[in-house]
Structure 1
Amino acid sequence: MEDHGRAPAEPGTGEADQVRRFWTRLGLPGLIDVHTHFMPERVLRKVWDYFDRLGTLTGGLEWPITYRAEEEQRAALLRDFGVRAFTAMLYPHKPGMARWLNDWAVDFARRTPGTLHTATLFPDPDAQAYVGEAVEAGARVFKAHVQVGAYDPADERLDGAWGLLADAQVPVVIHCGSGPAPGQHTGPGPVARVLARHPRLRLIIAHMGMPEYEDFLDLAEQYAQVRLDTTMAFTDFAERLAPFPRRLRPRLTHLADRILLGSDFPNIPYPYLHQLHALERLDLGDDWLRGVCHDNGARLFGL
């Protein structure tokens, strides 16, 4: 992959200016990032602890947290970058946890300018009930993490919740690809079963479906409401682990109006600016970048 002579920027006081120059050049009012993580501090610390131990667990894959800071500092930094709307991607890893996370998310959305009120779900017996409550409380996007939750998204206990979200047209960012490590229910098959039942469901496939890129592009072409986010895709880090096939690049242009900027901030092992440069060096044009980095998200969320 060509790098246009750019090395990943170092995070620091100058990074915000560089990010702003990126979107200013494109004539945008800022960025919309559909994949940023905010969650209760004790939960986030456990997530960071997992990444800190990843090198030992995997035998060498180091994953330093670039933006390890307090919640208010992290939100302020996104605003300094010019991210005018961002999410609080949070997710349960066990039954009975989702409702508690959703209660926390209501308060976070109220106290945090710029956030898109985010909620989550799990195949609990009362999933449809608390998903309905979250939508009533103003949730604008949901997060589902098939890999961490180790559940089948086609589980019948979720069927009512998917139907409710499809009817309400509330998007769901779903980590269902088999990267960075496969799970029992990752991959395109389980998600395809969900979409067969709920073809109007607005699923946003996280990480471009990494590493099953082609299979998830197929689903997006089959279902008009399926989108993909760019989280970590095309970066130097991801290209070492699961390179995006060059032959698939024309399909990114074909789906230009359904690809959304995602970053995984703050849990990324490189500066935020590098994700933007990774998209730019695809050489798909400024119109494509404008759609991905702002306009597609603005249209989806009515901003």
Structure 2
Amino acid sequence: MTEPPAIDADIPAYWRSLGLPGLIDTHTHFLPRRMQEKVWAYFDRGSANYGTEWPVVYRLPEAARVELLRSWGVRAFPSLPYPHKPGMAAWLNDEALKFAAGVPEVLPSATFFPEPEALSYVTAALDAGARIFKVHVQIGGFDPRDEVLAPVWGLLAEASVPVVVHCGSGPLRGAYTGPGPFGEVLAAHPALVAVIAHAGMPDYGAFLDLAAAYQRVYLDTTMVATDFTESLMPLPAPVAARYADFGDRILFGSDFPSIPHSYAHQLASIHRLGFGSAWLRAVLHDNAAALFGIG
């Protein structure tokens, strides 16, 4: 195999050496400015919140962050907004769709929260061209099995629109995180195209079992196997070995920009799993290209 990138400047040469036209990152965030600043302030309190420092590497203006991804050859990426309380989601969807309209690489993104109007604004977002949704069970503090969400999950399953779901218990456990609650959602909506954020860390094995049971469940690589995460929630070697057989349902994700390491390090961490160039081509580009119809 080719050598993994050591620094960000190496990224274009890396994907070219794999025979790819670029990268597709299915887990990036572009939030409204004030909300983004609050997220960064939260990470600045990393020691209090997570027990370790969480330095934000790419604390840059929005336009500069877009240009960085372009310079690295990231062909497509979402904005993935997410609310932490009722009454935010419809506004976030409007802002996300406006952002996507001005940046051709962006996968138009949307979100939802368990509230009576959720089905209405999710339908509106789909009609407006949303191609990917994000929900954050831990930050939102809600039960994904809430009955008000049943028609929303059903609509997204019928539309075959992927939903990036942060339902793992990392970096912090929530009241409804872990494989159990979202596993029940999948049992009720087995056609749902679900992307399990962070591969479900720290319950890597249990979420991989969900991917084995449901053919439309994907895992994203966000912060998986990085030095930072390995020091807190290491990926068990037996689970990592199983990833070799799931190369068609693992998607590259980075959590850019609020990551405590370089973008190149995330790529190198995936590379050092050691599954070969064909596996890397699928994970870093081809799986997402097929999922989102990117030529």
Q: TM-score, normalised by structure 2?
A: 0.97
How many residues of Structure 1 are paired with residues of Structure 2 in the alignment? 293
Partner of 1:207: 198
Residues of 2 paired with 1:129 and 1:5: CA distance? 48
The residue number in structure 2 matching 1:120 is 111
**Residue deviations 1:180-224 (CA, integer Å, cap 9, x gap):** 010000000111110111000000000010000000000000000
What secondary structure does 2:231 align onto? helix
Aligned to 1:235: 226
Aligned partner (choices 87, 90, 93) of residue 99 of structure 1: 90
Shift of 1:9: 4.3
Find the aligned partners of 2:186 and 2:14 in 1 and give their Cα distance: 36
Aligned partners of 2:6 and 2:265 also within 8 Å: yes
Per the alignment, do residues 57 and 301 of structure 1 end up closer, same or farther by CA in structure 2, a change over 3 Å counting?
Answer: closer
Deviations 1:102-125 (A, max 9, x none): 010110000112000010010011
Match among 259, 264, 269 for residue 273 of structure 1: 264
Identify unmatched segments of 5+ residues in structure 1: none
Does the 8 A contact of 2:6 with 2:268 survive in 1? no
Match of 2:239 in 1: 248
Query: For 2:56 and 2:115, how far apart are their aligned partners in 1?
Result: 31
Q: Deviations over 1:3-30 (max 9, x none)?
A: x998x845xxxx2x30101101100000
Shift of 1:251: 1.6
Q: Which residue of 1 aligns with 2:11?
A: 19
Question: Given the alignment of the two structures, is residue 282 of structure 1 paired with residue 273 of structure 2, yes or no?
Answer: yes
1:89-168 equivalences in 2 (<5 Å): 89-168=80-159
Deviations 1:115-136 (A, max 9, x none): 0001001001111111010000
5+ unaligned residues in a row in structure 2: which ranges?
none
Query: Take 2:147 and 2:11, find their aligned partners in 1: how far apart are those partners?
Result: 43
| Aligned match of 2:26 | 34
Which residue is equivalent to 1:301?
292
* CA-based RMSD: 1.4
Give the drift of 1:56.
3.2
How far 1:57 moved relative to its partner? 3.6
Name the SS of the counterpart of 2:248 in structure 1. Answer: helix
2:70 equivalent in structure 1 = 79
Structure-1-length-normalised TM-score: 0.94
Please identify, of 288-297 and 249-258, the stretch whose mean Cα deviation from structure 2 is larger. 249-258
Partner-residue secondary structure (3-state), 1:28: coil
Conservation of the 8 A alpha-carbon contact between 1:66 and 1:271: yes
Q: CA separation of 1:254/1:57 partners in 2, compared to 1, >3 Å: closer, same or farther?
A: closer
Which of 168, 185, 210 is matched with 1:177 structurally?
168
Match of 2:70, as an amino acid? R
Report the Cα distance in structure 2 between the residues aligned to 1:184 and 1:162, rounded to whole angstroms: 20
Match of 1:223 in 2: 214
3-state SS in 2 of match to 1:148: helix
1:299 partner letter: A
CA distance in 1, matches of 2:85, 2:271: 38
Q: Supply the distance in 2 between the matched residues of 1:135 and 1:92 (Cα, whole angstroms).
A: 18
Could you tell me how far 1:250 is from its partner in structure 2? 2.9
